[in-house]
Amino acid sequence: MKLCICSHNTHKVREINEFLGSHFELQSLTDIGCLEDIPETATTFLGNAQLKAQHVWKHYQLNGFSDDSGLCVGVLGGAPGVYSARYAGVGSKDSDNLKLILEHIKPYQKPEAYFICVIVLILNGQEYHFEGRVSGHLIHTPRGTQGFGYDPIFVPEGHQQTFAEMLPKQKNELSHRSKALAQLKNFLDAL
């Protein structure tokens, strides 16, 4: 089955390909010639995922899925939340976002946090939703070189390593995205 991953994020596309690639023929937004950035203007993860998947269906008539994911920190009232990718402002880099969140959590010892991923699949015009979460806590000194985003400061529950210290295979067994992707895969396999 051919599916579009409604993303330009090369890290995310690689992670999804590692998880689903052998089962499906996957294309990114770049692969289908969609070069524009689809604005994420919704106030929820579901809303942002819908915007991207619906854009691809409307303009390219391709089956595809989109996810919106982020980090939610309890002591920060759920921030950065849907603004995780642009926490330090529009156009900010991972390093900018990481620096800002480290400033915000400085007064707190091991603040609890969770990563969430919401996937919207549009298949022949029908919409389906999947969600994955992983809970843990944040540390104040980044560790590890694997992963991206907030991975160097996130320690999943029951583990000592950050996501950035784990090999991709280990992270993929635990991550919010892999949990949502597993639901998506099970749904597609049952068709």
Separation of alpha carbons 94 and 148, rounded Å: 7
User: Which conformational region is residue 15 in: left (phi greater than 0), alpha (psi within -120 to 50 degrees), or beta?
Assistant: alpha
Cβ neighbors of 5 (< 8 A, separation 6 or more) are: 12, 13, 16, 17, 26, 27, 28, 29, 64, 65, 66
Which stretches of the chain drop beneath a pLDDT of 70?
Answer: 21
pLDDT at position 111 is 98
pLDDT at position 142 is 97
Residue 131: strand pairing partners: 118
Alpha helical stretches, state H, the chain: 10-20, 45-60, 94-105, 168-174, 176-189
Annotated active-site residue 68? The verdict is: yes
pTM for this predicted structure? 0.91
What CATH class does 2-189 carry? alpha beta
Rg (CA), the chain: 16
CB 130 within 8 A of CB 180: yes
Write down the domain spans for the chain.
Answer: 2-189
pLDDT at position 110 is 95
- Render pLDDT for 127-182 as a digit per residue (tens, 0 to 9): 999 999 999 999 999 999 988 899 999 999 999 999 999 998 899 889 999 999 99
pLDDT at position 37 is 85
- Marked catalytic residue, from 67, 68, 94, 151: 68
**The two structure tokens encoding residue 17:** 């390909």
